[in-house]
């Protein structure tokens, strides 16, 4: 099955009406009548919902990595994808500064299929606290991404 995602690349001034902070907007196209269910698959990371078939990377140099923590269907094959800073303990990585950032988003599908895009995300003046990574959380992330059952 083939699928493609496309991201919203607006917000140059951070003033687009109705945009929610920490949300990337993507659209999805797919073939063969099969829907890539990965867009709805989530798991629990120490009490935080994580969409493990998405990867997200803040493209601002020196910024913390990201995880996808919410996916909301907004209609007509468009989704709002919430990204959350994820602190892996890298002393050189900083939390996202207020403003408009570019993010790389990758959706993983069955049979090794994947599709990526770049989308903008607005970070408000009151920034979100980064989720700290623990060794247990890192192991859960690795297992869930590989599609192995959680124990």
Residue 119 forms part of a structural domain = yes
CA-closest candidate to residue 88, choices 66, 69, 60, 109: 66
pLDDT digits (tens), the chain, 151 positions: 678 888 877 766 556 677 889 999 999 988 777 677 788 899 988 889 999 999 999 999 999 999 999 999 998 889 999 999 998 888 889 999 998 999 999 998 877 788 999 999 999 988 888 887 777 777 777 676 655 444 4
Q: State whether residue 37 is helix, strand or coil.
A: helix
Q: State whether residue 18 is helix, strand or coil.
A: coil
Residue 97 forms part of a structural domain = yes
Residue 149 forms part of a structural domain = no
Residue 148 forms part of a structural domain = no
Residues 73-92 as b/e (b if ≥16 CB within 10 A, e otherwise) read eeeeeebbbbbbbbeeeeee
Q: Which residues contact 149 (CB under 8 A, 6 or more apart)?
A: none
Residue 151 forms part of a structural domain = no
Work out how many domains the chain is built from and give that number.
1
By residue range, what is the domain housing residue 102?
3-142
pTM confidence score: 0.82
Residue 51 forms part of a structural domain = yes
């Amino acid at each position: 099955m083939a699928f493609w995602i496309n991201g919203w690349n607006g917000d140059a001034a951070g003033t687009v009406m109705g945009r929610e902070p920490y949300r990337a907007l993507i659209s999805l196209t797919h073939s063969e009548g099969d829907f890539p269910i990965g867009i709805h698959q989530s798991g629990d990371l120490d009490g935080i919902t994580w969409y493990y078939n998405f990867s997200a990377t803040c493209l601002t140099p020196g910024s913390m990595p990201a995880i996808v923590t919410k996916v909301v269907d907004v209609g007509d094959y468009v989704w709002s994808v919430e990204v959350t800073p994820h602190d892996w303990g890298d002393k050189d990585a900083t939390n996202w500064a207020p403003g408009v950032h570019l993010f790389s988003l990758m959706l993983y599908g069955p049979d090794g299929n994947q599709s990526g895009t770049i989308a903008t995300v607005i970070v408000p003046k009151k920034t979100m606290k980064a989720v700290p990574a623990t060794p247990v959380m890192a192991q859960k992330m690795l297992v869930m991404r590989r599609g192995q059952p959680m124990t």
